[in-house]
Amino acid sequence: MATMVFDIETTAQPIDNFDEAQQEYLFRDAENQSDEVAHEKKRLDIAHFFGLWPLTGQIVCIGMLNPQTGRGKALYLSEDFEDESSPDEEIEYVAYPDEAELLAHFWELALKFDSVVTFNGRNFDVPYLYLRSALLNIPITRKNWLGYRFSCTPHCDLLEQLTFYGAGGRTGACRPFNLDFYCKVFGIPSPKAQGVTGSDVSQMIQEGLFRQIAEYCIRDVHATAELYKIWKERLSPER
């Protein structure tokens, strides 16, 4: 059974993409602040989340890996669309001029896999992919990735598995940690070790560092794949 480990990177859409009524709605809490300093701080706080919401953000990269073969792809937005990979490289980097074309290719590739593995994909990556695809009228070829929550197939969300579906809440033995923390405690090289995190993506886009974003995304995917192997060997209920 073919499995795909994947991760996405996102950024905020420009404020000008939204009309006056939408902006008023988005920044309503800022308008309720008592002074100008608090008002500006609240606007910045709200804008910080734009990239995390599929209605105000967009996907700039999808990294994917077949853990059985070690081969994968990084689909990413870029101003330079030349293929930068050699045929013998394990990861193929493919640049696209727009998000719609990137998503269309991703859903074509998704048909080749029977199951997927993510880290927090049930709460973030998959619904983000679904909504962005629907907004751009891109056909979704796999609509069952948010099926029955208490199942490892066809979607194994490692954050759900490592917290035992939130059995102990946020303060108990099963409290959630981020991917970086899980990697370090399980002895996996952290994808953040090179000094890049998801919060850096927007600035990297402004600096034109598109390929570097894709490389960071692939590091996340490799780390997720290593964590998946450990979970499968030591914790999977199927073993």
Supply the pTM of this predicted model: 0.93
Report pLDDT for 119. 98
pLDDT at 233 over 60: yes
CA separation for the pair 149, 8 (Å, rounded)? 21
pLDDT at 10 over 90: yes
Domain 3-18+56-234 classification at class level? alpha beta
| Entry field: residues in the chain | 239
Q: Which of 105, 108, 87, 107 is nearest to 96 (CA)?
A: 105
Report pLDDT for 193. 78
CA separation for the pair 105, 92 (Å, rounded)? 13
pLDDT mean over 149-159: 95
Q: pLDDT grade, residue 47 (50/70/90)? A: very high
CA separation for the pair 61, 139 (Å, rounded)? 18
Which pLDDT tens digit goes with each residue over 53-100?
A: 999 999 999 999 999 999 999 999 998 766 555 555 899 999 999 999
CA separation for the pair 152, 141 (Å, rounded)? 19
